[in-house]
Amino acid sequence: MTKRDLVMRIADETGFTQQDVFGILQKTLDYIIECLVKGETVEFRDFGVFEVKTRKARIGRNPRRPKVPMNIPPRRIVRFKAGKKMKLDVMKSQTPPA
């Protein structure tokens, strides 16, 4: 599902215009990004939690020159942890292997 698909679906179900729904959705995403940039955690009950983590610096290897170690600097990443309801709903939807 893309952002456009989501906008169209919400607009159809609510009666709002697609332009209004798009503006609200985009503003919501902008605020989530703004909070993550500040290092804050964003939590949606039953959906999940977005948080910023810092990966430690480490030594890596270039596959083209495996004998030459490379320093990989620390960096910030966004981590998402699914909420309880999402986990349960996804597990229920799984079909058993054939």
- What CATH number is attached to the domain comprising 49? 4.10.520.10
- Indicate whether 12 and 26 sit together in one domain: yes
- Indicate whether 54 and 88 sit together in one domain: yes
Q: Output the pLDDT for position 66.
A: 86
The mean pLDDT of the chain is 93
Q: SS in 3 state form for 3-50?
A: HHHHHHHHHHHHCCCHHHHHHHHHHHHHHHHHHHHCCCCEEECCCEEE
Rounded CA gap, 14 and 66, in Å? 56
Structural domain boundaries, residue 56? 41-93
- Indicate whether 47 and 31 sit together in one domain: no
Domain assignment of residue 61, yes or no: yes
- Split into its structural domains, the chain has a count of 2
Domain assignment of residue 98, yes or no: no
pTM of the model: 0.76
Rounded CA gap, 19 and 16, in Å? 8
pLDDT tens readout for residues 41-88: 999 999 999 999 999 999 998 889 888 899 999 999 999 999 999 999
